[in-house]
Structure 1
Amino acid sequence: MSLYRWHRYASHRGVLNLLLCLTLVLLLAGLWLPMVTMTQLVIFENTFSVISGITGLLQRGNALLGLLLLLFSVCIPLMKMGLLFWLVNNRRMGSARRMRLLQLMHEYGRWAMLDVMVVAVLVVMVKLGAFASIQVHPGLYLFAAAVLLIMLLTGWVVKLTEHINGAET
């Protein structure tokens, strides 16, 4: 029965897949493109992206912080997108199992991405204060757009699955 119900909503699958591909492009661009430039005492200027920041931390011996940022800003978002893609395209999975996986993803996915970035930016701004200025670049906006799209797509798939579960009972 759930296979039949999921086929009824096949039109959503195409749009979801297209939006997941767009989200992947935004996420990868957001990770690699410069996010911020910090100018210290008008002389020293550093521009970095998420990836360059992580590699810089690892090279300077801050392995724990670098690995945490790698996990929460890169690995978890990519795994979340992969799981969403699999859930959307796996027609044989029952709705109850699909819902359990979505709830699990929601439980642990909230710790990733945006929260970490906001905290990191706040820490940098507080530490630098009057000694530096920060200029924001497109990488930050692309990363934030990818985060928001992942959240919206997850919500859409949850609502779709709930609707399918409700139709089965």
Structure 2
Amino acid sequence: MKLFLALLLPLSTFSFALGLTQPLMRFEKLYFLEERPSLIELILELWKQGDVALASVVGLFSVGFPAVKIALIHVAAFTGGSSRSLALLSTVGKWSMLDVMLVALVLFAAKTSGLAAATILPGLWFYAGATLTTAAAASICKRI
């Protein structure tokens, strides 16, 4: 189990970083205009458009809490799963949600012009992979 955890931790961290920085979706408008926002760009665009509350919520739940969760899993793995780190991990894990990021994508798509076609790009797959590997690593950490 510890070997599997040792493989999952770098994989989840790397996938999370790629999920934040790589384009999530491609929005095509009028056959020749396209946008390929990453999650970070999406949050910054919401902020620039004056949706500060929405940008803050999406940033907190889609970037902040998952980053803290990954850090806590690293701490729990290195400390042998101390009760304090596992309690914090359990609390933070309840607040890091993939669905908030997906709702933000839908809102972003709705804010663009109505004549847009959307295609999923690797950033979304990396983010989803990070979510799954982080959940698996957290589950293993709690068992050790």
Same fold (TM > 0.5): yes
Between the two proteins, the alignment pairs up a number of residues equal to 144
User: What's the TM-score once normalised by structure 1's chain length?
Assistant: 0.72
Deviations 1:67-88 (A, max 9, x none): 1111111111110011111111
State the partner residue of 1:158.
142
Distance 1:155 1:141, change over 3 A: same
State the partner residue of 1:133.
117
User: Per the alignment, in what secondary structure is the counterpart of residue 36 of structure 2?
Assistant: strand
Distance 1:92 1:131, change over 3 A: closer
In structure 2, C-alpha distance between the alignment counterparts of 1:57 and 1:127, rounded to whole Å: 10
Q: CA deviation at 1:128?
A: 7.0
The 8 Å contact of residues 23 and 121 in structure 2, kept in 1 or not, is answered as yes
Deviations 1:71-119 (A, max 9, x none): 11111111001111111111493xx4454334323xxx23323111232
User: Per the alignment, in what secondary structure is the counterpart of residue 100 of structure 2?
Assistant: helix
Unaligned runs of 5+ in 1: 1-11, 161-169
In structure 2, C-alpha distance between the alignment counterparts of 1:77 and 1:152, rounded to whole Å: 13
State the partner residue of 2:128.
144
Q: 1:83 aligns with which of 58, 72, 76?
A: 72
Distance 1:102 1:79, change over 3 A: closer
Q: Say yes or no: does 1:58 pair with 2:47.
A: yes
Distance 1:71 1:99, change over 3 A: closer
Q: Say yes or no: does 1:101 pair with 2:85.
A: no
Tell me how large the CA RMSD over aligned residues is: 2.5
| One-letter amino acid of the counterpart of residue 104, structure 1 | T
Q: Say yes or no: does 1:119 pair with 2:103.
A: yes
Q: 2:61 aligns with which of 53, 68, 72?
A: 72
More helix by share: 1
Between 34-43 and 12-21, report the one with greater CA deviation: 12-21
Q: CA deviation at 1:130?
A: 6.5
User: Per the alignment, in what secondary structure is the counterpart of residue 133 of structure 1?
Assistant: strand
